[in-house]
Structure formats: C-alpha cells, structure tokens
C-alpha cells in the first residue's frame, strides 16, 4: 500500500504546486512530459524563460525536506529529459531554467516553496 500512498501524496502535491505556480505568474504549457530518458512534472513559461519544474511532496520533513530529494542523479535525468523536450519542440536556444517546487503537507495548510534556478543543465 505504501506505493499507492506515495502516488496519492505526489498527485495532491502536484495539484497544489500547479495552483501555486499559476498564482505566481507561471503559464503551464505541459504536464508529465515523458521521453525515453525520463519525465518532467511541469513545463511552464515564466516571463521569457521555459521552466522545467520538478515537484517534490512530503507529508513531513522527518526524512529531509522535499527539495533535498532532488539529488544530483535526479538533476541529470531531468536535464537530459529537458534537452529531449527542447529538441522535440524545436526550442533549442531559448532561455530555460530548472525550478523545484517543494510541497510539505504536515499541517492543515500545506507549505509550498518555489526554488527558482534550483540547478543548472548537467550532462
């Protein structure tokens, strides 16, 4: 059952993140983009930047914050997937960045943090 609970937390966290991003001026252009390399939770525009967004949700920070779960290994996978996206959509050369949205659902009201430019493209 743990996997199902984790999926539910992730889905709830992603819905909370989407609403928060839109309130903060992000225009959502794609969700759950997948290629052979991996998946990107959300692709958005923020001002003139294409933003690849990783959403991490946790019910508590007992085992670390959600943002800490975006390891270097995960960053590499997201970077490679973003490159697939840019090639597929013919957007190479456009300004792009990686943001992480951390959702902690410890109390009645979730805490949401956007980490802009959380990491750089990694080969």
- Rounded to two decimals, the pTM is 0.90
Round to whole Å and give the CA distance between 87 and 5: 35
Mean pLDDT of the chain: 90
- Classified by CATH at the fold level, domain 2-119 comes out as Trna Endonuclease; Chain: A, domain 1 (3.40.1350)
CA distance 27 to 70: 23
pLDDT digits (tens, 9 = 90+) for 55-96: 999 888 788 888 889 999 999 999 999 999 999 999 999 999
> Does residue 79 contact residue 70 with C-beta atoms inside 8 Å?
no
Mean of pLDDT values over 30-49: 96
What pLDDT score was predicted for residue 65?
Answer: 85
Edge-to-edge strands of the sheet including 49-58? Answer: 27-34, 39-46, 49-58, 96-104, 111-119
Q: Are 78 and 98 in contact (CB under 8 A)?
A: yes
């Amino acid at each position: 059952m743990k996997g199902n609970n984790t999926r539910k937390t992730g889905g709830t966290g992603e819905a909370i993140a989407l609403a928060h991003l839109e309130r903060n001026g992000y225009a959502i252009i794609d969700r759950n983009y997948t290629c052979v390399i991996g998946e990107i939770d959300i692709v958005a525009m923020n001002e003139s930047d294409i933003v690849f967004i990783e959403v991490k949700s946790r019910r508590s920070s007992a085992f670390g914050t959600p943002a800490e779960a975006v390891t270097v290994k995960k960053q590499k996978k997201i970077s490679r997937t973003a490159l697939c996206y840019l090639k597929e959509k013919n957007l190479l050369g456009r300004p792009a960045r990686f943001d992480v949205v951390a959702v902690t659902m410890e109390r009645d009201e979730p805490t949401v943090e956007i980490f802009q430019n959380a990491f750089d493209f990694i080969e």
